[in-house]
Structure 1
């Protein structure tokens, strides 16, 4: 813990709320965050491995392209079936992980520190999705190209995710669509719009929606089904969170103030 406190320098010496940040402040905080720095350093290391164990340009490009193409589907499946699962909070072995990687984010969607994925979950996932396919295509060099592509794609996704929660009105129609659908996921009905930069898989799996198509707001949009009744049965997340927070995050913050 002391090491972590010592590391929180610059903008990360304090907490950040995306609804109160400018675009420039976000960019500075983004590149100072340890997880983003880790992804970039590992990308450099992967490119060195690709250079040390060369494969053909075609095989390297194919490994990287497949990693990038697989990312939207991998994210959709993880987001829908793991992050929005209810089995994770039912075990003391997975409750802490679930709280960190998604429950806290839905409890306070604009809290920047819990918006970023945790390295102990993201790095193994990136490796599993990219390295085996890359190795099958181009050996060690192909695996390195695939892993590097996965790391950079993660950086891109994390930044897009930040933009979606930033108090910022995009000019690009693509960004407007992306932000609108994601805000519906967080503030209207969490059972849909699981994509980040692409909603192709939501459309194919029938989870894509626009707010007018679901007039009723979900009662579990902020707690992901971890209600007071659920906490009575499976108390581990509540014990770590100081209870079960209910209602809109802004309203809770006003009451706390």
Structure 2
């Protein structure tokens, strides 16, 4: 994909295919993406409130460190037990939510506009987790610091998440390893490697694996268990999609039929 086409996509709102983009094109897309711009604005607002109701350097630093410690665990639990759970798609009222927040991403892992979570779901979650932590540490000022820290970490997560689906080999070895583990989550077995920038929690919960030899390939890696049989029982996601769930992304070939 040329830079010209990507710039045109920014103007027209067409989706970006990370599998056809390079790092420079990603920076342009990321720094101009509406969700990211909203996050940047909210970070400024959060730290402005934190300055206005400054809790002191001690509580402020404790709030930052606390959020940095809690965030990976919160993300892991949400990713594994909510986003990869089946409860949301089995309810007609939450099926479209589940489709948007994670099913679409696994159906087409390279599509940028479903890689980012929708602010209407991500922001309340971030605030609900980080705000009380900060408030207990140092009142309104520390709560604002905690929320701003949570949104900042989300921006970092989202950028590295893009890197992991980008047509680009990182130079740094630690980013290469991070990307390799996440690629396994999307293309080999979705029931593992739930982390984005760190897999410490995966190691703690026994869901970490290093290569495709470690476990068999999952037949539900692209549909998260929402296959044709489940779609017949719980059709709401399929109705929202307008098509049956796929067991591989568009353009992928069945095993044994690759050139």
Contact 2:9 2:16 in 1 (8 A): no
In the alignment of these two chains, the number of paired residues is 245
CA 1:40–1:79 in structure 2 vs 1: closer, same or farther (change >3 Å)? same
Alignment of 1:13-92 (within 5 A): 13-92=13-92
Contact 1:134 1:142 in 2 (8 A): yes
Residues 121-130 or 155-164, more deviating: 121-130
Contact 2:96 2:237 in 1 (8 A): yes
Alignment of 1:4-19 (within 5 A): 10-11=10-11, 13-19=13-19
Contact 1:186 1:221 in 2 (8 A): yes
Separation of aligned partners in 1, 2:170 and 2:9: 30
Contact 2:9 2:15 in 1 (8 A): no
Aligned to 1:156: 156
The answer on 1:190 being equivalent to 2:180 is no
Separation of aligned partners in 2, 1:11 and 1:130: 34
Aligned to 2:230: 230
Report the Cα offset of residue 10 of structure 1: 3.4
CA 1:212–1:12 in structure 2 vs 1: closer, same or farther (change >3 Å)? farther
Contact 2:227 2:247 in 1 (8 A): no
Report the Cα offset of residue 252 of structure 1: 5.5
Contact 1:11 1:29 in 2 (8 A): no
| Runs of 4+ that moved beyond 4 A | none
Deviations, residues 124-159 of structure 1 (Å, cap 9, x unaligned): 111111111101111110001111110100000000
Structure (1/2) with the larger helix percentage:
1
Contact 2:231 2:238 in 1 (8 A): yes
CA 1:11–1:207 in structure 2 vs 1: closer, same or farther (change >3 Å)? farther
Contact 2:194 2:202 in 1 (8 A): yes
Separation of aligned partners in 1, 2:199 and 2:180: 12
Aligned to 1:97: 97
Separation of aligned partners in 2, 1:133 and 1:187: 36
Aligned to 1:217: 217
Report the Cα offset of residue 217 of structure 1: 1.1
TM-score by structure 1 length?
0.92
Match of 1:194, SS?
A: coil
Unaligned runs of 5+ in 2: 1-7, 254-259
Report the Cα offset of residue 13 of structure 1: 2.5
Report the Cα offset of residue 250 of structure 1: 4.1
CA 1:207–1:179 in structure 2 vs 1: closer, same or farther (change >3 Å)? same
Contact 1:231 1:244 in 2 (8 A): yes
| CA RMSD in angstroms, aligned pairs only | 1.5
Aligned to 1:106: 106
Report the Cα offset of residue 9 of structure 1: 7.9
Separation of aligned partners in 1, 2:106 and 2:239: 17
Separation of aligned partners in 2, 1:32 and 1:9: 11
Unaligned runs of 5+ in 1: 1-7
